[in-house]
């Protein structure tokens, strides 16, 4: 930590999972170290943008709610991603907005109203000692986070912020078209992969026409989808690298979309890979929610991703 940092927030109580996440851990996947980073890049990116942070600043990813924070000084904060019923001293805080928090005020997340993961950004970013080049928290690997050991936030934790957090002006407003309502059915764009031809015709038709349900076996490693059984000529491959959003289909025919904390290599055939924005969208789906898969092209996927990154100033 070379920048001047001060304690900004204290954790009063926590819910199921709250993690510090920067853009992720890169360049070490060949050592078996996963990528980590925000499961919903879109919500995380816009939360940082609202407080004027550059791409990559560390924010909190709050899953399902339950987190309670007290300000130890005046701060400029913003919420992106899910609406988890956040309130400031009992007054509702609208999602997708920047707001000020005075010393001694309490910010509390309740339960999901829409979506699953909320992002809390602070002007200047949260500060922690990077591990293998990143503060991204990966609990399974014991890497990153406040303690550097992959710990999720716990009561009593104190969150350091870069000092400018205390005096920067709030005031950015989210472009209306970037607001998401996660209660709507999700349409997930997918780039077909190399093994797509090994699925039988009926399975391919079903993959892109059936309604899929998000299973409750869903976490930062991956999300299982329930629906028609997809049949593939190939049962297993020799293990190979897996990219973000890869949709693998094990022998039971139920696809699993792999997210940020996935294992670095694996051996199931793949239907393809979700686009970065589709992976983000899926990360906001609650168990039972309906999703559809839609094939797309690299040109269109790149166009959408480029627009997001340029809008966020990176």
Partner 1 sequence: MSRGQALPRIESAGLDGWMVRLFATIDEANLPWLTALTRRCEAALGEALVDLVPSYTTLLVVFDPLRLPPEATRRRLVELLHDLTPDEESDRGEVRELPTWYDPGVGPDLERLAERAGMDIEAVIDCHSTREYRVFALGFAPGFAFMGLLDERLECPRLETPRQRVPAGSVAVAGRQTAAYPVVTPGGWHLIGRTSARLFDRDREGFSLLRVGDRVRFVAVDRATFARQGGDTRPMEANA
Q: Does the footprint of partner 1 cover residue 197 (CB under 8 A)?
A: yes
CA distance 38 to 18: 11
According to CB under 8 A, which one of 41, 69, 86, 301 is a site residue for partner 1? 301
Q: How far is the CB of 69 from partner 1 (least distance, A)?
A: 28
Six token digits for residue 300: 């269109």
Is 168 an interacting residue with respect to partner 1 (CB under 8 A)?
no
Mask 131-150, x = binds partner 1 (CB under 8 A)?
xx-------xxxx----x--
Q: Which of 28, 113, 210, 286 binds partner 1 (CB under 8 A)?
A: 28
Residue 66 binds partner 1, judged by CB under 8 A? no
Residues 245-264 that bind partner 1 (CB under 8 A): 245-246, 263-264
In the complex, minimum distance from the CB of residue 263 to partner 1, in angstroms, rounded to a whole number: 6
Residue among 31, 91, 176, 201 that touches partner 1 (CB under 8 A): 31
Contacts of 62 by beta carbon, 8 Å cutoff, 6+ apart: 15, 17, 18, 84, 109, 117, 118, 119, 120
Shortest spacing between CB 134 and partner 1, in angstroms: 12
Q: Does 32 bind partner 1 (CB under 8 A)?
A: yes
> What SS3 class is residue 205?
helix
Residue closer to partner 1 (CB basis): 149 or 202? 149
70, 58, 59: which is closest to 14 by C-alpha? 70
Number of residues that bind partner 1 (CB under 8 A): 48
- One of 6, 10, 12, 29 touching partner 1 (CB under 8 A): 29
Residues near 243 by Cβ (< 8 Å), separated by ≥ 6? Answer: 273
Task: Give the tokens for residue 202.
Answer: 């009926």
> String of b and e for 179-203 (b: at least 16 CB within 10 Å)?
ebebeeebebbbbbbebbebbeeeb
Helices and strands in the chain, H and E counts: 4, 21
Give the Cα separation of 213 and 227 in Å (integer): 7
Residues lying near partner 1 in the complex (CB under 8 A) are found at: 26-33, 35, 131-132, 140-143, 148, 191-195, 197-198, 234, 238-246, 263-266, 272-276, 298, 301-302, 305-306, 309
């Amino acid at each position: 930590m070379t920048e001047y940092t001060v304690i900004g927030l204290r954790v009063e109580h926590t819910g199921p999972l709250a993690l510090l996440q920067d853009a992720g851990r890169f360049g070490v996947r060949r050592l078996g170290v996963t990528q980590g980073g925000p499961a919903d890049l879109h919500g995380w990116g816009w939360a940082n943008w609202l407080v004027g942070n550059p791409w990559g600043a560390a924010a909190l990813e709050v899953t399902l709610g339950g987190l309670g924070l007290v300000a130890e000084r005046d701060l400029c904060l913003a919420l992106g991603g899910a609406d988890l019923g956040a309130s400031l001293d009992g007054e509702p805080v609208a999602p997708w907005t920047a707001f000020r928090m005075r010393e001694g005020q309490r910010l509390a997340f309740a339960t999901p109203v829409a979506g699953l993961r909320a992002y809390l950004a602070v002007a200047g970013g949260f500060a922690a000692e990077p591990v293998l080049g990143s503060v991204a928290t990966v609990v399974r690997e014991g890497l990153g986070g406040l303690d550097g050991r992959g710990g999720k936030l716990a009561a009593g934790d104190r969150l350091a912020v870069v000092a400018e957090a205390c005096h920067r002006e709030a005031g950015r407003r989210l472009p209306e078209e970037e607001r998401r309502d996660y209660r709507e059915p999700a349409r997930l764009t997918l780039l077909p992969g190399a093994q797509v031809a090994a699925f039988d015709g009926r399975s391919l038709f079903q993959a892109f026409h059936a309604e899929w349900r998000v299973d409750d076996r869903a976490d930062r490693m991956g999300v299982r989808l329930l629906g028609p059984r997809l049949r593939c000529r190939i049962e297993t491959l020799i293990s190979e690298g897996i990219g973000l959003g890869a949709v693998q289909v094990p022998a039971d025919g139920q696809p699993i979309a792999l997210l940020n904390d996935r294992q670095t290599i694996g051996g199931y055939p793949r239907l393809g890979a979700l686009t970065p924005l589709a992976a983000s969208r899926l990360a906001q789906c609650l168990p039972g929610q309906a999703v559809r898969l839609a094939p797309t092209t690299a040109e269109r996927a790149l166009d959408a991703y480029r627009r997001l990154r340029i809008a966020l100033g990176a």
